[in-house]
Amino acid sequence: MQSIVFRVTLLAGTWLLLAACDSGNDNPAPANAAQSGGGPGGSGGISAGGASGSSTQGGVAGAAGSSSLGCLVGDAANAVALPTLPGAGDLPAPSGTDANLRVLPWAGFGSAITYTFDDTQPSQIDHWAELKAEGVRMTFYANPSQTWYAGYNTTWQDAIAQGSEIGNHTWSHCHANLTCDNNQKPLATVDQEIDQCSTYITTTLGQSGVWTFASPYGETAYKPYLQGRFFLNRGVGSGMIAPGGTTDPLNLPIIGAAGGEAASAFNGRIDTARTQGQWAIFLFHSILPTSNNWYAGVDIASITGSIQYAKGLGDVWIDTLVNVGAYWLGQRAFEAAAPVTANGTTTWSWSLPTCFPPGHFLRVTVDGGTLSQNGQELVWDGHGYYAVALDAGSLTWAP
């Protein structure tokens, strides 16, 4: 457990920056950067109430909270569409019998990668243009008490416009017991720490909802506060995620960058995810070169090199935590439903987890038959699937 102390003098005064962040098994280290003393971008003007996002599902208060904003799931129209599968898109519709319905894991790509970056650090802002140039969606976990760095709002607004996700990493990046390693003064309650962050994301940054959380330090003590707010929490334990399976949605494992890796190190993990048909969530902190190497800095070329490697494989789905996670949990919900057959028609009915984002789909294949939702026949996609709307909650299949 070590922390590196940087002192940075700015026009506004002296800022004490403590390095490091989300410790996992691989990276036991504390803290995050913060300002000492009230400077620009403190907590001015943000209140815990009045988020613009709508709560259309769930709405269960956090376990410890009396003032939870509930689920800020946004609306279906703002959901990001699944990417197009490779191929000409001219595969014929199946014409056999109504047998062998199967959900395509990872939207038909076979494996998935999510690039996550924590703490909305200055070096991420400085390197956003290079990340954006790769043309893939990513997830950034924000601590909006860090808005002192130039370009904070415009960078993350641009990331949202590009399709990337801003997730909640609490306002001040403190421990769940409201002690802080970083000279930061926490808000009065954990509920406020979470909700003020979400409000910043929906109001100031303008994202339509806030769907996923990353516990500071990976602390599971945050978990009771997440029920009724988020459908996924990214933890910091090492591992990958299988389709279906029993992985805890409120403690998703990661592949953490320790700092200094070449692209080949990440490429190897991508190969493993692909071979095993799994979802790998990369966790990065500082991006080099930078004068703000707070924790586990990795050269930008290693990150973009690994993205290029994954893209070049052609069958790896690279997307945000909310997008891949909705597919993963949607498949799990669908497969947990026991189909009922009556008069030759088979019906699946499922319920989605609390705070599940609207507007998401599964891709399924069959030998034949007619699939319908809400009385509407599903249309075959020549890339090899029918798209099943998870929001509909049921699917029927007739010969």
Q: Contact residues for Zn ion (CB under 5 A)?
A: 21-22, 118-119
Strands 340-342, 370-373: pairing is unpaired
Instruction: Tell me how far, at minimum, the Cβ of 391 lies from Zn ion, in Å.
Output: 32
Residue located via tokens 């700015």: 10
Q: Which is nearer to Zn ion, 168 or 331 (CB)?
A: 168
Q: Which is nearer to Zn ion, 31 or 371 (CB)?
A: 31
With residue 47 as reference, give the H or E element that holds it: none
Measured between alpha carbons, how far is 213 from 168 in angstroms, rounded to an integer?
5
Measured between alpha carbons, how far is 168 from 230 in angstroms, rounded to an integer?
9
User: Whose CA is closest to 282, among 344, 336, 314, 324?
Assistant: 324
Residue located via tokens 């197009």: 84
Q: Which is nearer to Zn ion, 121 or 323 (CB)?
A: 121
Instruction: Tell me how far, at minimum, the Cβ of 298 lies from Zn ion, in Å.
Output: 15
Instruction: Tell me how far, at minimum, the Cβ of 285 lies from Zn ion, in Å.
Output: 7
Q: Which is nearer to Zn ion, 117 or 348 (CB)?
A: 117
Instruction: Tell me how far, at minimum, the Cβ of 181 lies from Zn ion, in Å.
Output: 11
User: Whose CA is closest to 296, among 13, 9, 32, 12?
Assistant: 32
Measured between alpha carbons, how far is 336 from 101 in angstroms, rounded to an integer?
14
Q: Which is nearer to Zn ion, 119 or 134 (CB)?
A: 119
Measured between alpha carbons, how far is 246 from 272 in angstroms, rounded to an integer?
19
Residues in Cβ contact with 232 at an 8 Å cutoff, skipping those fewer than 6 apart = 211, 212, 213, 249, 250, 252, 321, 322, 325, 329
Task: Tell me how far apart the 2 most distant CA atoms of the chain are, in Å.
Answer: 76
Q: Which is nearer to Zn ion, 267 or 320 (CB)?
A: 320
Contacts 24+ apart (CB under 8 A), 248-255: 249/325, 249/329, 249/353, 250/223, 250/226, 251/220, 251/223, 252/281, 252/321, 252/325, 253/281, 254/24, 254/116, 254/281, 254/282, 254/283, 255/280, 255/281, 255/282, 255/283
Q: Which is nearer to Zn ion, 284 or 328 (CB)?
A: 284
Instruction: Tell me how far, at minimum, the Cβ of 38 lies from Zn ion, in Å.
Output: 22
- Could you tell me if 269 and 111 are in contact, meaning their C-beta atoms sit under 8 angstroms apart? no
- Could you tell me if 231 and 186 are in contact, meaning their C-beta atoms sit under 8 angstroms apart? no
Nearest residue to Zn ion, scored by beta-carbon proximity: 21
Q: Which is nearer to Zn ion, 131 or 254 (CB)?
A: 254
Phi, psi torsion values for 301, nearest 5 degrees: -65, -30
Instruction: Tell me how far, at minimum, the Cβ of 31 lies from Zn ion, in Å.
Output: 9
Q: Which is nearer to Zn ion, 119 or 181 (CB)?
A: 119
Q: Which is nearer to Zn ion, 23 or 57 (CB)?
A: 23
Instruction: Tell me how far, at minimum, the Cβ of 70 lies from Zn ion, in Å.
Output: 24
Q: In angstroms, what CA-CA distances link 53 with 74, 87, 127, 200, 240?
A: 5, 37, 29, 11, 31
Instruction: Tell me how far, at minimum, the Cβ of 190 lies from Zn ion, in Å.
Output: 15
Instruction: Tell me how far, at minimum, the Cβ of 62 lies from Zn ion, in Å.
Output: 20
Q: Which two tokens stand for residue 197?
A: 């962050």
